[in-house]
A and B are shown apart, each in its own frame.
Chain A
Amino acid sequence: MILRDPSRQLDPRVQRLWALEWALAALVCGIVTTSIAMPLALADNGWAAVVVALVGGGITLGLLVLAVVQPRLAYCRFGYEITELGLYVARGRLWRRWQVVPHARVQTVDTKRGPLERLVGLVSVEVTTASASGGTDVPGLDPVVADGLVEELARRAGIEEGA
């Protein structure tokens, strides 16, 4: 055990968001596979068509399985917490990553809403520091929770509102 698990969890709806993302990827993969395999089959290139269909179909199937399985696991393994001195985020099961960003080092706190996030009604919060790779993010928060989080982070980091 390196660090104990953080106390707060994401909004459960984030599972739907991630499932949607994986499903979209599967859809794109399926379309690409079909649009390559169909002309090949029509051009009497049977072998190539079968190979493309098998490989593409396999990847698509894999993405669909991920869409069902990954969101729940990722949700269970994602935690965040704000303490007196820093923001603590832990994520991932196989490739686990713990991040601790001291409030004193935070430069900006942003909220972001992509089209999919809007659909599900969630917001993600991004924290950047003076180090290009040293920031972190908390995806999939309820807008009210996110506002509170941003407020608290900004207050502790000493960032003026409207700056």
Chain B
Amino acid sequence: MSSVGVTRGRLHPLAIVVFARRMIGASLIPVVVVAFTWRPTFVVPGLLALAGIGLAIVALEWRRFTYRVEGGRLVIERGVVRHTTRVVPLDRIRGVELQAPWLHRVLGLVRVDVEAAAGGSSAAELSLAAVSAGEGERLRQVLLAGARAVATAEEEAPAARILYHASPRVLAAGGLTSGRHILAPLAIVGVVANFADDLPGDLFEDLLGSAADRAPTDVLGVSLVVVAGLILTALLAAGGSVLTDWDFELADDGERLTARRGLLTSRSVVIDRARVRGVDLRDSPLRRAFDLVGVHGIAGGIGGGRSGRTVLAPVIAQDGARALLRKLDPEARVDTPLEPHPTAARTRRIVRAVALPSALAVGVFALGWLWVGVALLVLALVGVPLGLDRYRQLGHAFDGNRVVIREGSVTRRWTSLDPAAVISYAVGRSPFQARSGLCTVILHLGQGAGTRRVLDCSEEQAATLLAKLDAPLFQPFAAVPAAAQ
């Protein structure tokens, strides 16, 4: 294994600045307390002493942090008070992410986050807080080369094929249709209101009062303010999306997929191509109206959807998504016709969407809260078209190469999956499903990739699907021998 070569290293000396910033973030309050409560003659030496102690701790932290790649393993040693050593075999490393928040960018550093398939490992321990950009790139090559000879990485990487490049226009459209950023203005108001209490005097109240005095009361004025608010929200939404996903680029060098993005904080994620066993296309009613979708890879061992590490395209036009899918997985078929589920599933979808708000409404009316009850009833009414659409979207298919599953309305997910990625199979049936002859097939995927389910299909569909997915495995269990054929 010595062919990998021993690479020892410390973090970049400027990592001290990064550590220091982290520390100041945590200890700002004690410092402020000292500054305001101690007598002025003591404040300056006191603060200097604090700064000195802090710097010493930070420097020690930097000195104690070493990493090396030897014998096919990544070894990270750290700790000022308690010394810890972490050893991760390279073949367990699933992905390496380089991130550069603004301070890192100013200093020319990157943070390296290593994703390993290790039970219960906390991400922080497998993170190198700050190394130079060049070292980060080199480290990534070494770590991902893993058991393979590092020599190939040393050579000039084969010309990477750009699979997708997001234009600012598409990103802005994605932000506008995401619905996620609509909460941004609320967050801003919240933050301002939070700080307002700490501002001297009644500055905030005065401002608010004068704003209220000047606020228009006539119809035209109010609608102008509302329109301005909506435009501002939309601009913020578009801006937020453009900022985080700026210049998103997905490249493929044959072995790995590299996704780069971000304006202020740049991120770059590398995924082993062989680990991508399927693709999720996600959209919402708003995005469907504009023919936009988000593309996520299904890859075992890479932190699930929340970490955003499996994003293959944050937002892309429907046609682009088809082309991208073809390039990612030539076996996948976007146009596979889906088998609809029995109509009993429709009743179930509607009942489930309507029952809860209705029941709550009854309770609320009993308590005498009229308006809340009315609102809940409206919600229950909305549940009818929602349930109908949820049923319309349900469907699955298996063409011998890829399983395709579709589910959801408000957040719809279309999945194309290599059946070889399925770890184990399960079928669940609740009493309600049993009465309508339905069941749910659950496909368990590798760690981090979660499960995919075929919701509310008929028992016959479930049996047929399982028999087709893994014929030799399910042949002995078939209810009626050879009925699937």
Contacts and interface: CB of A to CB of B under 8 A. Distances in A.
A2 B425 CA distance: 13
Contacts of B477: 3-4, 83, 88, 100
A41 to B, nearest CB: 30
Interface string A100-116: 11100100000000000
Contacts of A144: none
B424 A135 contact: yes
Interface string B458-485: 0100110010001011101111100000
A97 B427 contact: yes
Nearest to B483: A1
B426 interface: yes
Interface in B149-175: none
A70 interface: no
A1 B424 contact: no
A130 B431 CA distance: 30
Contacts of B476: 83-84
Given A2-B439, A102-B470, A129 B423 contact: yes
Contact of B444 (A1, A83, A94, A133): A133
A99 B445 contact: no
B451 interface: yes
A86 interface: yes
Contacts of A163: none
A3 B479 contact: yes
B447 interface: yes
Interface residues of A, number: 27
The residue among B423, B473, B478 with the most chain A CB atoms within 10 A of its own CB is: B423
A129 B424 CA distance: 8
B148 to A, nearest CB: 22
B429 interface: yes
A2 B459 contact: yes
Nearest to A106: B424
B434 interface: yes
Query: Is chain B's binding surface mostly helix, strand, loop or mixed?
Result: mixed
Contact of B423 (A3, A96, A97, A134): A134
B118 to A, nearest CB: 12
Nearest to B470: A102
Contacts of A105: 423-424
B426 A97 contact: yes
Interface in A1-18: 1-4
Interface residues of B, number: 31
B428 A97 contact: yes
A65 interface: no
Interface in A93-147: 94-102, 105, 129-136
A102 B424 contact: yes
Interface in B280-334: 300
A1 B463 contact: yes
A96 B434 contact: yes
Contacts of B122: none
Nearest to B472: A85
A48 B470 CA distance: 59
A86 B423 contact: no
Given A1-B463, A3-B463, A100-B424, A129 B478 contact: no
A113 to B, nearest CB: 23
Given A129-B424, A133-B451, A100 B473 contact: yes
Interface in B398-437: 423-431, 434
A105 to B, nearest CB: 5
Interface string A74-100: 000000000111101000001111111
B427 A2 contact: yes
B427 A134 contact: no
A136 B426 CA distance: 10
Contact of A2 (B300, B444, B472, B479): B479
B340 interface: no
B431 A95 contact: yes
B447 A131 contact: yes
B427 A130 contact: no
A99 B447 contact: no
A3 B426 contact: no
A3 B427 contact: yes
B46 interface: no
B342 to A, nearest CB: 14
Contact of B446 (A86, A94, A130, A136): A130
A46 B444 CA distance: 53
Contacts of A94: 430-431, 434
Given A2-B427, A131-B444, A86 B479 contact: no
B456 to A, nearest CB: 13
A84 B477 CA distance: 11
B94 to A, nearest CB: 12
A2 B463 contact: yes
A65 to B, nearest CB: 18
Interface string B253-292: 0000000000000000000000000000000000000000
Given A4-B477, A100-B424, 10 more contacts: A84-B472, A85-B472, A97-B426, A97-B427, A98-B426, A99-B425, A101-B424, A130-B446, A131-B446, A134-B426
Interface of A: 1-4, 83-86, 88, 94-102, 105, 129-136
6 contacts: A2-B459, A2-B466, A2-B479, A96-B434, A102-B470, A131-B451
Top 4 A-B residue pairs of the complex, sorted by shortest distance between their CB atoms:
A134-B444, A1-B479, A134-B424, A131-B423
Interface of B: 300, 423-431, 434, 439, 444-447, 449, 451, 459, 462-463, 466, 470, 472-474, 476-480
